[in-house]
Amino acid sequence: MFLARVIGKVVATKKDDSMKGHRLLLLRPMLVDDKDPSKFRPGSNTVVAVDPIGAAHDEMVLFVQGSSARQADNLKALPVDAAIIGIVDSVNVLNQSIYQSSDEPDSQ
């Protein structure tokens, strides 16, 4: 599993019939900064992922790639390589909160 921020959406009107009705989002993987583990740094790549859960722009999400992406409900028969499997509420590194969803009240 990987962490990423939703940075956009992808629209493809012509696509494999099995992909019709599936939302595609553009993700920027987020890495814990090795120089300062109290913050994230963006990865250098972008990933297009199927979104079966309804993530919103700028949300932090969990995503999987490869055969794991096809294990999510309703994606088993689809030709997908990446899928969003969760919307992140918070991230804690070395007992320090480095991400807190604006929808999640502070639980510390």
Quick: pLDDT tens for 42-66: 999 999 999 999 999 999 999 999 8
Which 8-state DSSP code applies to residue 50?
E
84 located within any domain: yes
Write out pLDDT tens, residues 96-105. 999 999 875 5
96 located within any domain: yes
85 located within any domain: yes
Q: pLDDT class for 107, splitting at 50, 70, 90?
A: very low
pLDDT for the residue numbered 68: 87
Range of the domain at 81: 2-100
78 located within any domain: yes
pLDDT for the residue numbered 106: 53
Report the domain count for the chain.
Answer: 1
**Which CATH number does the domain housing residue 6 bear?**
2.40.50.220
DSSP string covering 10-49, please? E--SS--GGGTT--EEEEEEEEE-SS-TTSEEE-S--EEE
105 located within any domain: no
